[in-house]
Amino acid sequence: MFDLTHFFNMAAMAQTAAPAATESPQATMINFVPFVLIFGIFYFLVIRPQQKKFSEQEKMVKALQRGDRVVTSSGIHGKITKLEGDALLMLEIAEGVEVKIDRNNVQALEAKPQPATAKEGEKK
């Protein structure tokens, strides 16, 4: 017959740890090498590029000027008409339509349009 106390005694015996073997300091250090390598790879592939991208974005936001054409994080394209302090700006999104947005919502500067040039052999 199944005895419940026998079951609990077996579980308790399975949980007892064997005496720890003494490891040398070199063996302990070798166990940490994979963790250090993983962190190093993670740093150079994820953390460092994100830090560079963040600093470039911060520089761009600080350098915004009146007249710049920008794209917001929500995808709205417009022209900066007024800078209000360090945090806000007025963005003209259509003729006569201006919205006030936070500087940090500016995602990118629009590329300045290049004037079209006529190719050789084409008539104007």
Give CA–CA dist 16/14, Å, rounded.
6
**pTM higher than the cut 0.75:** no
Span 92-121, pLDDT tens digits? 999 999 999 999 999 999 876 666 665 655
Query: Which phi and psi (to 5°) does residue 20 adopt?
Result: -70, 135
Where are the chain's structural domains? 32-63, 65-109
Strand, coil or helix: 15: helix
Give CA–CA dist 121/4, Å, rounded.
97
3-state secondary structure 65-101: CCCCEEEECCCCEEEEEEEECCCEEEEEEECCEEEEE
**Of 51, 52, 83, residue with least CA distance to 67:** 83
Residue 119: per-residue pLDDT: 63
Span 75-97, pLDDT tens digits? 999 999 999 988 899 999 999 99
Choose which CATH entry (3.30.70.60, 3.40.50.150, 1.20.1630.10, 2.30.30.30) describes domain 65-109.
Answer: 2.30.30.30
Structure tokens at 3: 């005895």
Beta-bridged to residue 77, according to DSSP, are 71
